[in-house]
Chain A
Amino acid sequence: MVAGSKRTLASVIIVLFCFSAAAGLSADGNLSLELGISSLAIETREAVSNDSDYEIGDSYWGLMAAGTAAFSYKSTGSKNVKADLAFSFAEPETGLLVPSLDRAYVKARFPSFRLTAGKTRVSWGDGLVFNAGDIIFGSTDTSVDLTASEIRTETEWLTAVNIPLGSFSFIEGVAIAPETDTVAGFAVGSLQKSSGGGRFYTKAGSIKLEGGYFFDQTGDEASATDWESALHRAYVAAQGNLLADWNIAASAALPAVGDAKQTVKDELNISGGLFYLASLNSISSMTFRLEALYRPFYSWEEESWISVSEQPEYALVLYPEVGYTPTDSVSLTLRSVWSPVDASAMITAGAGWNVFEGFDLSCYAVFNAGDPDDSFAWNRADSLWSPGEDLMDSAAVIIGVNYIY
Chain B
Amino acid sequence: MKNKLIIFALILLLPASAFAISGEEIVRKADDKATYDSAEMAGEMRITDRFGTKTSTFNSWSRGENESLIEFTSLAERGQKVLRTENEIYLYYPDAEELIRMQGSALRQGMLGSDISYEDMTGGKDRASQYKIEVTGSETILGRDCWVLSLEARTRSVPYPKETVWIDKQDYIVMKGEYFTKSGRLLKEMEVLELGEIDGITLALETKISDKMKRDSDTILIVKDLKANVALDDAIFSLEELSW
How far is it, in angstroms, between the C-alpha of A120 and the C-alpha of B55 when the chains are bound?
29
Q: A328-B115, A357-B54 are in contact. Are A239 and B211 (CB under 8 A)?
A: no
What is the interface residue range for chain A against chain B? Answer: 35 or more
Which residues of B sit under 8 angstroms from A84, Cβ to Cβ? 94
| A224: chain B residues within 8 A (beta carbon) | none
The reply to whether B75 and A282 contact each other, CB–CB distance below 8 Å, is no
The complex places the Cα of A84 from the Cα of B238 at a distance, in Å, of 22
Is the CB of A279 closer than 8 A to any CB of chain B?
Answer: yes
Interface hits, B42-57 → A, CB 8 Å: 47, 49, 51-55
Question: A interface, by DSSP: helix, strand, loop or mixed?
Answer: strand
Give the contacting residue for B114; candidates A103, A153, A328; CB below 8 A.
Answer: A328
Interface centre among B55, B106, B237 (most CB of A within 10 A): B106
Chain A residues near B101: list those with CB within 8 A. Answer: 126, 208, 239, 245
Decide if A30 is an interface residue (CB 8 Å cutoff). Answer: yes
Partner of A121, one of B49, B96, B106, B109: B96
Which residues from B are CB-within-8-Å of A126?
A: 101
Partner of B214 from A82, A328, A404 at Cβ < 8 Å: A328
Contact between B51 and A328, CB atoms less than 8 A apart: no
A32 with B47: in contact, given A121-B97, A123-B98, A328-B110 (CB under 8 Å)? no
**A102–chain B nearest beta-carbon distance, Å:** 8
B76 at the interface (CB under 8 A from A): yes
Q: CB-defined interface of A152-168 with B at 8 Å, one 1/0 digit per residue?
A: 11000000001010111
Instruction: Tell me if B104 counts as interface (CB < 8 A to partner A).
Output: yes
> Among the listed stretches A50-58, A270-278, A370-378, A391-399, which one makes contact with chain B, having 4 or more residues with CB under 8 Å of it?
A270-278
Inside 8 A of A404's CB, which chain B residues have their CB? 75-76
Query: Which residues of the other chain, B, contact A355 by a CB distance below 8 angstroms?
Result: 51
**Interface check A327, CB cutoff 8 A:** yes
In the complex, the answer to whether A277 meets B106 with C-beta atoms within 8 Å is: yes
CB contacts (< 8 Å) of B235 on chain A: these are: 164, 167
Q: Decide yes or no whether A74 CB sits under 8 A from chain B.
A: yes
Check A30–B213 contact: CB distance below 8 A: no
Most chain B beta-carbon contacts within 10 A, residue among A86, A122, A245, A358: A245
Instruction: Kindly supply a per-residue 1/0 record for chain B positions 200-244, scoring 1 wherever the CB is within 8 Å of any chain A CB and 0 otherwise.
Output: 000000000001011001000000000000000011011110001
What distance in Å separates the Cβ of A280 from its nearest Cβ neighbour in chain B? 10
**Bound-state Cα–Cα, A277 to B105, Å:** 6
With A206-B87, A356-B51, A357-B55 as known contacts, state yes or no: A285 contacts B109, CB within 8 Å.
yes
Chain B residues with CB below 8 A from A285, complex form: 108-110
Residue B113 at the chain A interface, CB threshold 8 Å:
yes
Looking at the assembled complex, report how far the CB atom of B163 sits from the nearest CB atom of chain A, in whole angstroms: 13
Given the contacts A282-B213, A328-B115, A329-B49, A356 and B54 also touching, CB distance less than 8 Å? yes
Report B-chain residues with C-beta under 8 Å of the C-beta of A32. Answer: 75, 78
User: Which of B159, B237, B239 sits near A170, CB closer than 8 Å?
Assistant: B239
A residues 117-132 near B (Cβ < 8 Å) are: 120-123, 126
The B-contacting residues of A in range 53-102, CB under 8 angstroms, are 72, 74, 82, 84, 86
For residue A200, give the distance in angstroms from its CB to the closest CB of chain B.
Answer: 12
Q: Kindly list chain B residues whose C-beta atoms are within 8 Å of the C-beta of A121.
A: 96-97
Q: Do B240 and A358 have beta carbons less than 8 Å apart?
A: no
Report the nearest B residue to A120, measured CB to CB.
Answer: B97
Instruction: Give A283 to B54 CA distance when docked, in angstroms.
Output: 17
* Beta-carbon contacts under 8 Å, A27-54 to B: 30, 32
Give the complex CA separation of A322 and B99 in angstroms.
Answer: 22
Residue of B nearest to A123 (CB): B98
Q: Which residues of A contact B49 (CB under 8 A)?
A: 328-329
B136 to chain A, nearest CB (A): 24
Q: Please give the distance in Å from B95's CB to the nearest CB on chain A.
A: 7
Q: Would you call A21 an interface residue if the criterion is a C-beta within 8 Å of the partner chain's C-beta atoms? A: no
Asked whether any CB of chain A lies closer than 8 Å to the CB of B123, the reply is no
In the complex with contacts A74-B78, A277-B106, A358-B76, A283-B52 CB distance below 8 A: no
Q: Using Cβ atoms and an 8 Å threshold, which residues of chain A touch B114?
A: 328
Complex partner residue of A282 from B76, B79, B97, B211, CB under 8 angstroms: B211
| Contacts known (A282-B187, A355-B51); A74 close to B79, Cβ less than 8 A | yes
Q: Is A281 an interface residue (CB 8 A)?
A: yes
A-side contacts of B214, CB under 8 Å: 283, 327-328
Knowing A206-B103, A276-B105, A404-B75, say if A114 contacts B96 (CB, 8 Å): no
A 345-363 binary contact with B (CB < 8 Å = 1; else 0): 0000000001111100000
Q: Report B-chain residues with C-beta under 8 Å of the C-beta of A164.
A: 235, 238-240
Q: Which residue of B lies closest to A32 (CB)?
A: B75
Residues of A within 8 A of B105 (CB): 244, 276-279
Closest B residue, CB atoms, query A244: B104
Tell me if A191 counts as interface (CB < 8 A to partner B). Answer: no
Residue of A nearest to B234 (CB): A167
A113 and B25 CA atoms in complex are apart in Å by: 49
Central interface residue in A109, A167, A239, A243, by most chain B CB within 10 Å = A167
A141 within 8 A of B: no
Which residues from 135 to 158 on chain A have a C-beta closer than 8 Å to any C-beta of chain B?
150, 152-153
Q: List 20 A-B contacts (CB under 8 A).
A: A30-B75, A167-B234, A167-B238, A167-B239, A170-B240, A201-B239, A206-B88, A208-B101, A240-B103, A241-B104, A277-B106, A282-B159, A282-B187, A282-B188, A282-B213, A328-B49, A328-B114, A354-B54, A356-B51, A357-B54
Since A240-B103, A279-B109 are in contact, a sample of 13 more A-B pairs with Cβ atoms closer than 8 Å, ordered by chain A residue number, is A30-B78, A121-B97, A123-B99, A150-B95, A164-B235, A164-B239, A167-B240, A206-B88, A279-B108, A282-B115, A356-B52, A357-B54, A357-B55
CB-based closest 4 A-B pairs:
A241-B103, A167-B238, A328-B113, A357-B54
| Chain B residues near A (Cβ < 8 Å) | 47, 49, 51-55, 75-76, 78-79, 87-88, 93-99, 101-106, 108-110, 113-115, 159, 187-188, 211, 213-214, 217, 234-235, 237-240, 244
